[in-house]
Chain A
Amino acid sequence: MAMKVDMSALETNFSIPCLDDGDGMHFSADSPDVPSMVLPTCADFDGFQAATKDMVKNKRGTTTLAFIFDKGVIVAADSRASMGGYISSQTVRKIIEINPYMLGTMAGGAADCQFWHRNLGNKCRLHELSNKRRISIAGASKLLANILYSYRGMGLSIGTMIAGFDEKGPGLYYVDSEGARLVGNRFSVGSGSLYAYGILDEGYRFNMSVEEAAELARRAIYGATFRDAASGGCVSVYHVGPDGWKKLSGDDVGELHYHYYPVQKTSVEQEMTDAPSTSA
């Protein structure tokens, strides 16, 4: 009797339950290709609605960070997308280029982040055209925060940082879909953020060279990907200076691991030699 193959990775919330006769899964002949959902009974529609919202809500499986220092802003992120235990991509671009002097980070629902950052970019450009000057980072983050506040409770999942350089110098704001907007000098967002904070808070100084700051960011994201299952892939590091943003590096965390912890050659205590052959 063959062992039952674990098909749990193929389970989705949208497929019709497959008939399993014991000799493997097969789909019934008349099941349509379109996904279907369980329809609610009238007994507890609120409960069903809450459960649906909860199912759709993505836990923010990611690590992103940004901090201000004397030479501008450093923004860094990992690149893993996960759906529960399945890694759906190792090459997600989580740093979104809103315009040449402003960056946004992605945590939460990928579609939500991408759409609303693109929308923010549009609004910033319209502001520039109407007012003949660039929008400030404070203004851009306030625009986004107000939009997200108006959609509160409707299931958007966005935890983003808006980082950039404007007339007042470097700016960094944390904005999320609960409506919070915080100004600060350093933030980290995502499931791996607590791990990243440990390294970031310990190594942070206001006066650093761009290379030192980038290395701190890289190390903090690496540290988070090491401990957090939902973070991984590559670490992207960007620097935003007075002339706009520039991508500094993109390193695979696997390679970074052996860069930080090279394999030690263990000393050989006893060399094995062939056993002396017994004469016949």
Chain B
Amino acid sequence: MECVMGVVGRDFAVVAADTSAVQSILVHKTDEDKVMVLDSHKLMGASGEPGDRVQFTEYIQKNLHLYQFRNTIPLSTAATANFTRGELATALRKNPYMVNVILGGYDKDAGASLYYIDYISTLHKIDKGAFGYGSYFCLSLMDKLYHPDMTVEEAVDLIDKCIKEIRLRLVVAPQNFVIKIVDKNGAREYARRDLVGDNASVDAATTVTA
């Protein structure tokens, strides 16, 4: 099952997700990017049914861009989270989107923030969170090892420990992960952790991009 997790640090947020696209017992691909860059300073990691995930995150992304075109200023992370939750809620009783979202963003005034939005429109502002079967192993790890104002290295190290635990303990664990970061310089991919596929390396924790 798909794992998405996020952690907030000193003025940045990290969102990580696995990169497998699975259907029953078949892995279609091992490099499917599930953390969408919504705009210059927002990341949305999503997990859920394949059609819903892509359609919903693209819908949020395009509406964010529309807001910016109309109003010349981008939407804040908090407003984006509430907008996303509202869209999920409106669709819930008609044509629900089966998508769980971890939204990370950086605003000049509010700093870095992380939001947990699940498929039935629950919204929480969080410091650390995870979705999927991986969350059973990660959340307690995060509870123990997290402390406020972590540096980038500490936060990525926490994510790496979570990935290691998922690979160790989850039956049929996803092999490859992507880690993305958002800070005052913008939202970008930080690293990949690939065990299989064309970019796999012997050392599982090798960084591909930094």
Contacts and interface: CB of A to CB of B under 8 A. Distances in A.
Interface of A: 145-146, 148-149, 152, 174, 178-182, 184, 187, 193-194, 197
Contacts of B25: 194
A180 B26 contact: no
B95 to A, nearest CB: 9
Which residue among B25, B26, B51, B52 has the maximum number of chain A CB atoms within 10 Å of its CB? B51
B86 interface: no
Contact of A193 (B26, B51, B52): B26
Contact of A179 (B21, B28, B29, B49): B49
A179 B32 contact: no
Contact of B50 (A146, A179, A187, A194): A179
A194 B28 CA distance: 10
B51 A182 contact: no
B51 A179 contact: yes
Interface of B: 21, 23, 25-26, 28-29, 32, 49-52, 54-55
Contacts of B29: 182, 184
Nearest to A186: B29
Contacts of B21: 180, 182
Given A180-B21, A182-B21, A152 B28 contact: no
B32 A149 contact: no
Contacts of A178: 49-51
A187 B28 contact: yes
Contacts of A149: 51, 55
A63 to B, nearest CB: 13
Contacts of A193: 26
Given A193-B26, A194-B26, A181 B49 contact: no
A179 B25 CA distance: 18
Main secondary structure of the interface of A (DSSP, over half): mixed
A182 B32 contact: yes
Nearest to A180: B50
B60 to A, nearest CB: 16
Contacts of A148: 51
Contacts of A145: 51
Given A182-B29, A184-B29, 8 more contacts: A145-B51, A149-B55, A179-B50, A180-B50, A181-B50, A181-B54, A182-B50, A184-B28
Contacts of B51: 145, 148-149, 152, 178-181
B28 A182 contact: yes
A181 B50 CA distance: 8
5 closest residue pairs by CB, A with B: A179-B51, A180-B50, A184-B29, A149-B51, A182-B21
Nearest to B32: A182
Contacts of A152: 51
Contacts of B52: 179
A206 B70 CA distance: 45
A179 to B, nearest CB: 2
Contacts of B50: 178-182
A194 B26 CA distance: 7
Nearest to A206: B198
Contacts of A194: 25-26
A142 to B, nearest CB: 10
B105 to A, nearest CB: 26
